[in-house]
Structure 1
């Protein structure tokens, strides 16, 4: 029987390091961000839904979604964000679980940044890649060359990492070296 594990985290907690490790060790990771980009390509289900909902103003002359202009709208307008969420959530959810069902592997990981925020269900376990907020802050400032206040705004825009911690089945502590993280992952995988 297929086992499905949902993976989530917060900004700069190291979720991409975890999913890279899993892929490198032969596990399938269905990445929600990649799926969304594919669905937003010309003719894709999200592309059509966005065009029907928001109009031509957010598309380039060649027909592509103007990601910069659309992103500016979504991040600055709560009403537009809610409208987008209402339009896209079912489309994304359906596609993610379709890909999972079509996988021939017995163990599938699904990388979903908004797993708890959007109340995704259907997992045997949920894994949270965790780092305390002070670690997130330092990593984000360094990675994105942000000031402390800019980085803090991005962190605060998400569900608090400690709230996510209380919802997860398993916690992947990512506050040490890559080697420590990889040993922890190997141990978790051996347990399932």
Structure 2
């Protein structure tokens, strides 16, 4: 191949990678993610997920880290009050993650564990850092205090695994 042809092919590739504003596309943008199921779709509108016992890919922002896993939340959400935008990811041991980390989870197992939807069975290649989560910040979802006659499972299923903010209250 001549140098002229290689140079032309290189320029064509650069032009194809450029976005309309003249910047270059990032390697992992939200629209380019491989077959991602959004967290709110995994959680669904019911008390249990319809994806139980399936393997899938998802993405989100780390909102909390525990001794046995971490919480992941969709950075945008679906603006539907009946679906949760967050989920717990079970890892057995404390993961080396920080709040605000943006992750792509690949080939993870969905299950209901004590009536809570969670992801598990991660491999060494399941967690992929990314730059497709915007600012990496998730705003707390305002949640009213429950009414005494309301079943807590019904009241809080819609915010399972999410960062929430409760109103101030006085107790005795």
Q: Which TM bucket (shorter chain)?
A: under 0.3
Structure number with the bigger relative contact order (C-alpha 8 A, sep ≥ 6) is: 1
What is the TM-score when the length of structure 1 is the normalising length? 0.21
* Larger Rg over CA atoms: 2
Which structure has the highest strand share of the two? Answer: 2
Return the structure number with greater helix share: 1
